[in-house]
Structure 1
Amino acid sequence: MVRQKLYMPMKLQINSLIIVFLLMLSACGPTHNAEKLDVYFDGALMEYNRKLTDVIVADIFTPPVASRIYAYPNIAAYEGARFLEPARPSLAGQLNGLDVLPKPDSLKSYYYPLVSLIAFTNVAEYLVYDLERIDKMEMELLEEVRDIGIDREIYDNSVAYGKNLAEKILEWAVKDGYHRRTALPRYSVSDDPGRWRPTPPDYMEAIEPHWNTLRPFILDSAAQFDPGLPTSFDTDEESQFYKEAKEVYETVKNLDDEQLAIAKFWDCNPNISHTKGHVMYFQQQISPGGHWMHIAAQVLDEQKANTVESAATLALTGIVLADAFISCWDQKYKSSLTRPETYINKYMDSDWAPILQTPAFPEHTSGHSVASTAAATMLTHIFGDDYAFADATEVPYGLPIRSYPSFIRASQEAAISRLYGGIHYKPAIELGIQQGAAVGNYVIKNLDIKESK
């Protein structure tokens, strides 16, 4: 029997080879495009902090809670990015309660900017209400990275390591007392005229009366930088306290246009309520901590900072803000001082109203003064004494850009805005500035994440 040879036309043979080659490429996935990946990740952490702000604002978190939400994801992001500069020290062993974090496998390859953002999103997801929105952010990130082109093994290693870091950060975070605080007693309103009580228009109950029970990030305790007690409550018209209240009253009645603009620019109260009929809703705006995280992100964009420097700066800013709120809230509920609105309406003018809506927590000290000064102290340490910048943080909320010759000058304006807004007496502002500076300088002195030489 004679076997016949089967021949394939040359054109068909070539087409078949092309198909096989394309199938092989498809099976292997896109090639690793390091240059385009680096371009994509430039500034990515700043953008993801802005996206996190959108979630925080929509979820209407209080200022103390918002500060906690910024801190943990940015710590995770730094721990994922720091291996780009191997001499960068870990925060483990420096932050309270954070002892050990997993290290990358020396036998595996990673793309650390991706590790950093995966750690960020996986931590953030468990700190907000709208976790689906964070999850969507991560899915879009991964899809875009795959479309750009990344080695599949490096991709898998990076995602797995980022998730591992996030898991350990969350194990640490869950022990900070945040969940335990909800089982503690609510704030009790008393008949003491000097003690804080709910204020108009909706007379909301006290926000976070046990925030000082949370574990600080770097401070020894919430009371470490206690600012001291406020002026003793008094209704006598010759008393110091009455004079301080009168200063608030007169300031608001005689505001000029610039002072009014300052009060509104630094309002940063995410819990402003409005009532129509039987329905109460909240006006969405950024928190004090969020405002300063955005300033940091904006400056990093201007500086074209690399991934590690960006992660370090945002982690430091998040940490100092979180500890500033823990410190401030300690004295707030110890002194539990009545707000100017309550005092003025009862003892001076029943028709008087502040420019800003009075926040639902005691007066002393001013949270914005403490947090702004702490953040400005940290950013001055990083970028210098005279770093001029134009603050565009409030543009999405309908307010114009304001320019400052330095971070400290911006923080001073944020502090005095509380007097212009009619929601703080002067000592709460002045002592708040001192308290914030003490917190900021302590974090600078006791937390090292600079690259060792």
Structure 2
Amino acid sequence: MSKKVVLILSCITLLFSCKKDDGSWKKAADNPEFLRKTQLQVTESIIHDIFAPPVSSRIYSYASLAAYEALVPANKGLKSMVGQFNGFEKVYKPEPNKEYCYALAATRAFLTIGKNLTFAQDVYVDFEKKLWADYKATGIPEEVFENSIAFGDSVAASIMNYSKKDNYKQTRGFRFTVTNKPGTWVPTPPAYLDAVEPHWTKIRSFTMDSSAQFRPIPPSKFDLTKGSEYYQEVMDCYNTVKNLTDEQRAICNFWDCNPFKMNITGHAMFATKKVSPGGHWMGIVSQVSRNQKADIYTTARAYLLTSVAVFDGFISCWTEKYRTVRIRPETIINAAIDKDWQPVLQTPPFPEYTSGHSVISGAASVSLSSVLGDNVAFADSTEIPYGLPVRKFTSFTQAADEASISRLYGGIHFRPALNNGLVQGRAIGNWIVGKIKTN
């Protein structure tokens, strides 16, 4: 090959390599669908690892915080949670004179936290390969890609450091002591599992002044005298389950959200796994933000406020559960009313009052409404992977109401735990919306 030809080819190569980036890749790379797919993948890992509902909420909230903080430098309308969340003092900042794709950094930060806080790393391998390949297919320059990945990892490291001071590690390994006092919780069939997360009240919340800040009114006095308030609540649950309509049964199954259901057939026992209550609400965020064509910033805000509402809601609810330690319907009905009665849903392994679904759904619905709007009609397909059909709602409030009453239909809560739990949760949601400023 002549020197002249070599020189021409070199010039052509140099011309293409120095082609100015026209930024045409930015719109495609800013697509919030990357973040939504990542949220779903973290949910799949949570389901695989069978995390308890409060622990699942911790994973979602830190992942959502990381994604949100990675976007703050890109949008002057977003306010950092530094100084707003309890104990959150600093977060990594982008380096000057470097170009970033902040949407990519946010997705990377969410995924990194999810991987760090879950166990089954192999479930991420194929997903992650395709995720980064899809980003590169937008035409993002290699340097911008690498800068964004590094920034996302640095933000995630900041959030992981923050998470290490929330007392989670210090509450591992402790068991709850059953007292067998009248009216108090004892393990329930079929697995008779130990009580879940009895020390969750010690976990640092993101926004509350204390875990007891939103303490509900006390439950009814334990009194099985016919005609007493408590006896009427017991019979309300008993008769509701005995006379369920098909629609009520569909409602209780749709909102089951049992991460670990034990199935017993003869001498065989096996478990089935589902999305957690918090995971269900994160799924709602994904669906509605997609329907509204929300941008990456609005989607990240919705994930953040919803996950934090669920997280703080669990702290408040679990504080009350282990303060009152109330007996479950299955236990008291079998002992005092009908030994053959069974709930429709499997009774979860923790005390009855207040209802976790009610508290976190009430909190999530308020927080989510503050971002995506009131009276937003949507079709919820979260439970399709578990063989359940889509359910339609006129608002997040209606969805929360239905999630709450589902626990009575399922026979695992008395009505006051639902009503008072919704009040408790909505108070938490209103507190978060009034206290935390995202824009």
TM-score by length of structure 1 reads 0.91
The answer (yes or no) to whether the contact 2:167–2:203 under 8 Å persists in 1 is yes
* 1:413 partnered with 2:415: no
Match of 1:287 in 2: 276
Q: Matches of 1:33 and 1:346 in 2, distance apart?
A: 73
Residues matched between the structures, number: 438
2:300 counterpart letter in structure 1: A
Structure 1's 19 and 140: CA in aligned 2 closer, same or farther, altered over 3 A? farther
The answer (yes or no) to whether the contact 1:176–1:215 under 8 Å persists in 2 is yes
Match of 2:151 in 1: 161
Q: Matches of 1:360 and 1:194 in 2, distance apart?
A: 16
* 1:241 partnered with 2:230: yes
Structure 1's 248 and 143: CA in aligned 2 closer, same or farther, altered over 3 A? same
Query: Aligned-residue CA RMSD in angstroms?
Result: 2.1
Gaps of 5+ in 2: none
Structure 1's 202 and 183: CA in aligned 2 closer, same or farther, altered over 3 A? closer
Q: Which of the two has higher C-alpha Rg?
A: 1
Q: Matches of 2:126 and 2:12 in 1, distance apart?
A: 31
Structure 1's 275 and 362: CA in aligned 2 closer, same or farther, altered over 3 A? same
Q: Matches of 1:249 and 1:88 in 2, distance apart?
A: 49
* 1:336 partnered with 2:347: no
Please point out which of 353, 362, 365 is paired with 2:342: 353
Identity of matched residues, %: 42
Q: Alignment partner of 2:262: what SS?
A: strand
1:114 counterpart letter in structure 2: L
Structure 1's 76 and 23: CA in aligned 2 closer, same or farther, altered over 3 A? same
- Measured after TM superposition, the shift of residue 138 of structure 1 is 3.6
Q: Matches of 1:274 and 1:41 in 2, distance apart?
A: 44
Structure 1's 211 and 25: CA in aligned 2 closer, same or farther, altered over 3 A? farther
Gaps of 5+ in 1: 1-7
- Measured after TM superposition, the shift of residue 335 of structure 1 is 0.5
* 1:112 partnered with 2:96: no
Match of 2:421 in 1: 432
The answer (yes or no) to whether the contact 2:29–2:104 under 8 Å persists in 1 is no
1:169 counterpart letter in structure 2: I
Deviations 1:57-84, CA, capped at 9 Å, x for gaps:
1111111111111100111001111222
Deviations 1:18-52, CA, capped at 9 Å, x for gaps:
764687689x5998574345324412211211111
- Measured after TM superposition, the shift of residue 281 of structure 1 is 3.1
The answer (yes or no) to whether the contact 2:34–2:131 under 8 Å persists in 1 is no
Q: Alignment partner of 2:287: what SS?
A: helix
Match of 2:245 in 1: 256
Q: Matches of 1:190 and 1:29 in 2, distance apart?
A: 74
- Measured after TM superposition, the shift of residue 305 of structure 1 is 1.0
Structure 1's 332 and 106: CA in aligned 2 closer, same or farther, altered over 3 A? same
1:240 counterpart letter in structure 2: E
Q: Matches of 1:177 and 1:203 in 2, distance apart?
A: 27
Q: Matches of 2:51 and 2:427 in 1, distance apart?
A: 26
* 1:63 partnered with 2:53: yes
Q: Matches of 2:304 and 2:214 in 1, distance apart?
A: 22
Structure 1's 259 and 31: CA in aligned 2 closer, same or farther, altered over 3 A? farther
1:180 counterpart letter in structure 2: Q
Structure 1's 279 and 209: CA in aligned 2 closer, same or farther, altered over 3 A? farther
Shift >4 Å, 4+ stretches: 16-26, 28-33, 276-280
Structure 1's 151 and 361: CA in aligned 2 closer, same or farther, altered over 3 A? same
